[in-house]
Structure 1
Amino acid sequence: MPQFDFNQALPQLLWLILVFALLYIIVRGMLPKVQRVVENRKERIAADLREAEAARDAAEAATSGGSTALAGARSQSLAVTGKARDEAAAATARRLADVDASLKTEAEAAAKRLAEVRASVLAELEVVATEATVDLVHRVAGVSVSNDEAGMAVQKVAA
């Protein structure tokens, strides 16, 4: 085995040093480029994170502003609907009062007409009862009674 042959150890050691030196030079030349790429990537990630945080803050501000605007609009709409409801209730109350007064007037007029009709019917009923009494007394008793006497008898019975 050549590894155990000490006659060939010096050239192997020389090649080892040469290969490691060459690798060291290559890696040393590439290392700044790799470090720059890593640093650029870190900076880009940090900038993206700052930008995302700023966007999140702006979204939260917009959301809270929208919530405030929504609450204001809601309270304003409640005030407007409350005012409209109150106005409608007042208008309905006025209309009901007008209708109630109108119905009361009509009821009073109807009661007056009813009293007149009742009085008229009672008067006619008295005339009919008087005539019926005269006719009945004549048929049953065979006596002739005057309309005045029969009317007085009907009034006496009706009272």
Structure 2
Amino acid sequence: MPQFDLAVFVPQLVWLTVFFAILYFGVVALTLPKLGRVMETREATVTGDIAAAETAKADADRMAEEYDAGIEAARHSARDTVGAAKGKATAALEAKLAQGNSANDARLAAAEADLAGARSRALSEIEGVAADVAADIVERLTGARPDATAATAAARGALAA
């Protein structure tokens, strides 16, 4: 094989080194700057994206805090409004209850007065009827009718007991 012939081996090795150096430095000289620029561009893009993401996260966190504060303020306001409405409703209800109670008390007093009057009239009529019945019974048993005042006094005494 001619590649292993020592007479041509050293010149082949020299030419291999020359061509390798030309190709290597030619490729490196042309490719490395482009590769460096691409890497720098990607690094700048990634760094910019990370910075933008951090800024967006900070903005989102701030907005979330503002939202939570707004919700809490709205809840507090709603609690105050509900409490005020309850207070007004309770006061109005108590006023109506007091008005209704006073009207009921007035009607109750009038009804008790009417009842007392009806009771006294009924008792006086019962006394009269009892006196008449007692006088009739005494007249049937004895044959003589007793005095009306005595019969009324006896009926009143019997009803009081």
Task: Provide TM-score, normalisation by structure 1.
Answer: 0.92
1:12 match? 12
2:145 match? 144
User: Which stretch of structure 1 is more off in the superposition, 148-157 or 71-80?
Assistant: 148-157
The residue type equivalent to 1:10 in the other structure is: V
Residue deviations 1:44-93 (CA, integer Å, cap 9, x gap): 00010111111001101101111111111111111111111111111111
* Cα displacement (A) at 1:3: 5.3
* Cα displacement (A) at 1:23: 2.5
2:83 match? 82
Structure 2, unaligned stretches of length 5 or more? none
User: Which stretch of structure 1 is more off in the superposition, 118-127 or 146-155?
Assistant: 146-155
The residue type equivalent to 2:136 in the other structure is: D
CA–CA distance in 1 between the matches of 2:150 and 2:89? 67
Residue deviations 1:105-145 (CA, integer Å, cap 9, x gap): 01100110000000000011011101101111112222222
Q: Secondary structure at the match of 1:144?
A: coil
C-alpha RMSD of matched pairs (Å): 1.5
Runs of at least 4 residues of structure 1 off by over 6 A?
none
Q: Secondary structure at the match of 2:99?
A: helix
1:49-88 to 2 correspondence within 5 Å? 49-88=50-89
CA–CA distance in 2 between the matches of 1:40 and 1:157? 125
CA–CA distance in 2 between the matches of 1:55 and 1:48? 10
2:108 match? 107
CA–CA distance in 1 between the matches of 2:94 and 2:65? 43
1:16-35 to 2 correspondence within 5 Å? 16-20=16-20, 21-35=22-36
User: Which stretch of structure 1 is more off in the superposition, 144-153 or 131-140?
Assistant: 144-153
CA–CA distance in 2 between the matches of 1:147 and 1:30? 148
* Cα displacement (A) at 1:26: 1.6
The residue type equivalent to 1:69 in the other structure is: G
Q: Secondary structure at the match of 1:124?
A: helix
